[in-house]
A and B are shown apart, each in its own frame.
Chain A
Amino acid sequence: MLLAVNNISVVYSDVIQVLKGVSLSVEKGKIISLLGSNGSGKTSTLKAISGLLKPENGKVTDGEIIFQGRHIQNQSPEIITRMGIIQVLEGRQPFKYLTIEENLRVGTAIRPNKSYKDDLEMVYNYFPALLARRRARAGYCSGGELQMLVIGRALMAKPELLLLDEPSLGLAPLIVREIFGIIKKINEEQGATIVLVEQNANMALQIAHYGYVMENGKIVMEGRAEELVENPDIKEFYLGMAASGDMRAYRDVKSYRRRKRWL
Chain B
Amino acid sequence: MDFFIQLVVNGLSVGFIYGISAMGFVMIFKSSSVLNFAHGELLAMGAYIFLVLVTWVELPVYAAFLLTMATCFSLGFIVERLFLRPLIGEPLIFVIMLTVGLAAMFKGLILLIWGGNLHTFPDFLPSWLSLNWGSVAVQPVYTLALVVGTIFLVLFGIFFKFSSQGIYMRSVADNQRAALSLGVNVKKVFALSWAIAALVAGMSGIILGIINGVNVHDLSAIGLKVFPVVILGGLDSIGGAIVGGLIIGLLETLTGGYISPSLRDVVPYIVLVFILMVKPYGLFGQVEIERV
Point out residues on A near B: beta carbons under 8 Å: 50, 52, 55, 77-78, 81-82, 86-89, 93-98, 102-103, 105-110, 112-113, 137, 139-140, 150, 153-154, 157
Contacts and interface: CB of A to CB of B under 8 A. Distances in A.
B167 interface: yes
A153 B182 contact: yes
Nearest to A141: B291
Contact of A110 (B170, B174, B182, B187): B182
A97 B178 contact: no
Contacts of A103: 171
Interface in B271-292: 286, 289, 291
Given A81-B183, A97-B289, A113 B164 contact: yes
Given A95-B170, A95-B178, A109-B168, 6 more contacts: A95-B174, A95-B175, A98-B170, A109-B184, A112-B165, A112-B168
Contacts of B182: 81, 86, 106-107, 109-110, 153-154, 157
Interface size class of B (residues with CB under 8 A): 20 to 34
Contacts of A55: 89, 177, 180
A52 B167 contact: no
B55 interface: no
B289 A140 contact: yes
B181 interface: yes
Nearest to B188: A78
20 contacts: A52-B177, A52-B180, A55-B180, A77-B180, A77-B181, A78-B185, A87-B181, A89-B181, A95-B171, A95-B178, A97-B289, A98-B174, A102-B167, A105-B164, A105-B167, A108-B164, A112-B164, A113-B164, A139-B291, A157-B183
B195 to A, nearest CB: 17
Contacts of A109: 164, 168, 171, 179, 182-185
A128 B59 CA distance: 58
Nearest to B174: A95
B171 A106 contact: yes
Contact of B183 (A82, A96, A140): A82
B170 A96 contact: no
A214 B185 CA distance: 33
B184 A86 contact: no
Contacts of B178: 89, 93-95, 150
Contacts of A98: 167, 170-171, 174
A50 B183 CA distance: 10
A78 B172 CA distance: 13
A96 B175 contact: yes
Interface string B232-275: 00000000000000000000000000000000000000000000
A97 B177 contact: no
B89 to A, nearest CB: 7
Interface in B48-100: 89
Contacts of A94: 175, 178
Given A96-B289, A97-B289, A52 B181 contact: yes
A64 B290 CA distance: 40
Contacts of B183: 77-78, 81-82, 86, 109-110, 157
Contacts of B181: 50, 52, 77, 81, 86-89, 93
A137 B182 CA distance: 19
A199 to B, nearest CB: 20
A94 B291 CA distance: 12
Contacts of B174: 95-98
Contacts of A78: 183, 185-187
Contacts of A157: 182-183
A39 B185 CA distance: 30
Interface in B181-217: 181-187
Nearest to A142: B291
